[in-house]
Structure 1
C-alpha cells in the first residue's frame, strides 16, 4: 500500500465529502503511516524527537485493523489508500505474531465491515479458539467483547458459519461478566475481576448491542442500556470518562488517566447505539465528553495538535507517567475502603505526549457517517482544509 504524499494543510479531492473532523483524523494518520511495514504505527511521540513514529509489530497490526474498521464508515477513502492490500497484509501477520485474542476479534469485525475475506489461517485459528469453551475462562473483557462483536458482524455480513458461536458467547458474557451494578466485570473469575476499566464497559456494551439487535435478544439490549446509564451517572463534571471502576459496587476507583480516545472515539461509538435505543442523556453525554477534548477539561486546554492532525493521548497524574503501581494500590485501597475517587488539583495533572493511530481510527468509525452533530464534526477547532484547485 502507498499513501501519496499530501502537503500539510491540503485535502485530496477524493475525500472532500468527509467532515472537517474526519479530514483532521485522516491527516493525522498520514503522519502515523509506516511505509516499510504497510501499516500505521504503535505510537507517534509528541515530545519533539526527530523520529516520532515508534513501531511495535503486534500493536501496529492491531491498530491498523482498528483504523481500517474506521475507514469502512467514512464517505470518501483517500485515493492513495489500498484498503484490501493493507487489510490482508496485516491480517496475514496475526497468526505469526503474539497478538492478544481481541486482535482476532477486530480482524473479524473489520473484514465484515469492509467486505474482505479473512485469511484462511486466521479463520482456522479463531474457530479453534471459539470451539474450545474451556479456554474462554482466560478471556478478558476486551477479548470477549471484540470476539462477540466480530462474530455477529460476520454473521450479519452473510457468513452463516459464525452464527453457532454467537449465542454461547453472549451467554458466557451474561453469566460471568454481568454485575448487579450495571457495570461489567473485567474477567470471568479471580481477584482482578472486579477492577474494570472504561474500555471493559465499552467493548462489552457494544457487543451486547450488536448481539441483541442481531438475535432479537432483549436481555442483551437491557444489559447494554444498564451499563450506559451507569456510565452516564458516573461521568465527571467536565465530561471526563473515568478510567477505573469497582464493577461490583458500581463506583469510580480512579478517574486517571483520562484518555482522549475515550472522549472523542470510543464513548461516542457506544453512545451512538444508546441514542438509537433512546437511553436518556446519551446524546448530551456524548457532546459533553467530546468537548472535554476541545478544552472544556480540568487543564482548560485543547488536547488537539492541529499542525499534525493528531491529539494528545491523555491527562494523567504527573507522578504516574512512567509507573502504574501507585494507581493500582490506590484502586485497591479505594475498593476495600468504600472511598469514591475524585479529581485532584489541576496542578498535579500532566499530559502524556503521544498519539496512537487506533485513536484516530475510532474518530473515523464514530463520526464517519454522522451528519447530525455539526457542532462537533464541523467545529472550528478542526479548521478549514482547502481542496486544491
Structure 2
C-alpha cells in the first residue's frame, strides 16, 4: 500500500503498531488483511485475493475493484483510527471518478452516495448526473434489482442526513416503489419488481432492502418502513440454520429457503451484523443472539468444523460450497427453481459434500469495518483471541 507521498508500506503485520491502537483486534485484523488486497499502482483494493498458493494472488477486475473499494471506504468511515498509509479522500476520488467510465452495476452509484455521505466527501458532478438520470427515469425503476434499489435509497438517505438534499425528494417515491413492488406477505423481499426472477431472492436481497427500509424509516419517521424491515428480520432469524448459517437463496413468495449454499463468510461476519444492528435498535427479539450465533460459525461452529479465518494472513475463506458446484451455478439454479415450484423446503447436506472456496474479497473485510467499527458491546467477537494473536 502507498501513502500520500507514494512511498510503499509493505509490512503486513504493521497495522496494530502503526497508530491504529484505538481499534478492536477484529477491526485491525480486517485492516491488515486489506493491505494484502491493495493494488498500489491502481489505488484500489482487488476483486479477489486467491488463497490457493498462486504466485500472484490478487486478481483485478476493474469495475468490481472500484465498487469493492468504495465499500471498503464506507467501512473505514466507522472505525476509530485509519492507518496513516491510507489517504481516504485520494482513494475515494480515484475510484468514484471511474464509475462513469467502467461497466459498473447500478448499485455502485448508491454505494458512492452512501460512502461519500459517511466520509463527508463530495460526489463528482459527472457521477451525480448519472444518478439524477437514473432517478428521474421512473420507467427504468422496474429494471432495478433489489441491490440497486436498496443501495440507492440508503445512499440518498445518508446524503440527506448530512444536509445534502439534491436527491432527497426521491426518497419517499423510492420507498413507496419498494413497498409496492418488492415486499411480500411472507415478510421476505423479492429480488425484482417483475418477471420470472422476482420470487428468487438472495440473502443480499433481504439485507439491502431491509437496511434501506430502516434507513428511510428512521430518517422520515415512517413506522411502516421500520415494520417492513423488522418483519423481514424476524423471518430471517426463523430461517437461520442450526449452526448460525445464513441461507443464500429464498423463495420470497413462500418465505422459505430453497438453497442454503453457498454459505458466505461475509454474511456471517459482515452483512448480517450490519442488518441486525438496526434490528437490535428496534427491539427485534433474538437479534443479538442471531448475530453472535452467525459470527461463531466463522470460528468453526459450522458443518466443516473448521475456522473460516486465516490468522497468518489476516484473511478469511469466502464460503462453504457444494463440491460439485465450485465452478458452476447451474445445478443450484435448477434445484432452487424445483424446490420453489414443488413447494419443498431445503435441508443442509452432509459435510463430506462441502468444500471451501479458496478466495477472499476485499469488500468482505470492508463489511467487518462497517459492522464492528462502532461496536463496543461484543468483546467475545471483537476481542476474540484469534484476532489479537494474529497481529502479534
TM-score, with length taken from structure 2: 0.97
Q: 2:135 aligns with which of 130, 137, 157?
A: 130
Deviations 1:153-206 (A, max 9, x none): 011111122210100000000000000000000000001100000000000000
How far has the Cα of 1:13 moved from its partner?
Answer: 3.3
Distance apart, 1:127 and its partner CA: 0.7
Structure 1: tracts of 5 or more residues without a match: none
1:77-120: CA deviation from partner (whole Å, max 9, x where unpaired): 00010000000100000000110000000000000000000011
Name the Cα RMSD after superposition. 1.0
Relative distance call for 1:140 and 1:386 in structure 2 (3 A) is: closer
**Is 1:6–1:12's contact at 8 Å kept on the other side of the alignment?**
no
Q: 2:9 aligns with which of 5, 10, 35?
A: 5
Residue of structure 1 in register with 2:71 after alignment: 66
**Structure-2 separation of matches of 1:160 and 1:225:** 27
Distance, in Å, in 2 between the alignment partners of 1:160 and 1:245 is 35
Distance 1:131 1:193 in 2: 23
Matched, 1:121 2:126: yes
CA contact (8 A) 1:178 1:185 kept: yes
Match of 1:200?
A: 205
Among candidates 68, 77, 80, match of residue 82 of structure 2: 77
How far apart are the structure 2 equivalents of 1:279 and 1:385?
Answer: 34
Aligned: 1:166 with 2:171: yes
Work out whether 1:307 is the aligned partner of 2:312: yes
Per the alignment, residue 277 of structure 1 pairs with 282
Contact 2:271/2:371 (<8 A) preserved = yes
Which of 351, 357, 360 aligns to 2:362? It is 357
Distance 2:12 2:77 in 1: 24
CA distance in 1, matches of 2:19, 2:213: 36
SS for the counterpart of 2:167 is helix
Contact 2:311 2:390 in 1 (8 A): no
Whole-angstrom CA distance in 2 between matches of 1:103 and 1:9: 31
2:199 and 2:212 mapped to 1: Cα distance? 19
Matching of residue 100 in structure 1 with residue 105 in structure 2: yes
TM-score, normalised by the number of residues in structure 1 = 0.98
Residue 334 (1) aligns with residue 321 (2): no
Is the Cα–Cα contact under 8 Å of residues 102 and 142 in structure 1 kept in the other structure? yes
For residues 5 and 116 of structure 1, what CA distance do their matches in structure 2 show? 25
Contact 2:2 2:9 in 1 (8 A): no
Contact 2:249–2:258 (CA<8 Å) still a contact in 1? yes
Q: Secondary structure at the match of 1:350?
A: strand
Provide the aligned length of Structure 1 versus Structure 2: 387
Report the CA distance shift for 1:212/1:50 in structure 2 as closer, same or farther (over 3 A).
same
Deviations for 1:208-236, whole angstroms, at most 9, x for unmatched residues?
00000000111100000000000000000
Moved more, 8-17 or 35-44: 8-17
